[in-house]
Amino acid sequence: MLKKNICVFCASSFGGDPVYTQVAGHLGTVLGQQGRNLVYGSSHYGLMGVVADAAQQQGSHVTGVNITKFDFADRVQNEDTYIVTKTLQERKVKMLELSDAFIALPGGIGTLDELMEILAMLQLHQTDKPIGLLNVKGFYDPFVQFVGRMQEEGFLKAEDQKYLIVREDAEELLRALDEAR
């Protein structure tokens, strides 16, 4: 089943390799071409701005969910829908409510926090909305290995690893998210 509203977690910086920017733009383009909408953290900077610009240029409805601390005109994208919450926790709740599935592009601590929150909610059956990693240049390989180590050491059930969908290609990842149950 087509997951219409895709939340993308990613950096408000570009990273050290132009390929991250290229992939973010490609993901945004694919979202629009496939008739999907984007939900994201509402920043004009970095990969966030790139994915939002590309999605919007291809006709996606773009919803930005920001927090009061960063609600400044020079930081905010020109979204179709703009929502401001007081805290990061409220922001994550709102993004969860608005989305059918999640994709994590490369990012930093904030991206990792958002990724882990969704994984924990899936494991605890607090949501059934899938999350995928767009594994650009093997960025998430160490994380995937670490999750495997959790299972090997008895801290994670083998069946819980199914919640983590990892692909290197945007179209393949979206297809896997659509097929996820």
Total residue length of the chain: 181
Range of the domain at 100: 5-179
| Cβ neighbours of 57 (radius 10 Å) | 12
CATH of the domain at 17: 3.40.50.450
Write the pLDDT tens digit of every residue in 50-62. 999 999 999 999 9
Average pLDDT, the chain: 94
Could you tell me which residues come within 8 angstroms of residue 13 by beta carbon, excluding any fewer than 6 positions away?
45, 46, 47, 108
DSSP-based three-state secondary structure for 72: coil
The structural domain count of the chain equals 1
Write the pLDDT tens digit of every residue in 67-108. 999 877 766 667 889 999 999 999 999 999 999 999 999 999
Looking at residue 43, its pLDDT comes to 84
Task: State what percent of residues in the chain have pLDDT above 70.
Answer: 98
Write the pLDDT tens digit of every residue in 118-149. 999 999 999 999 999 999 999 999 999 999 99
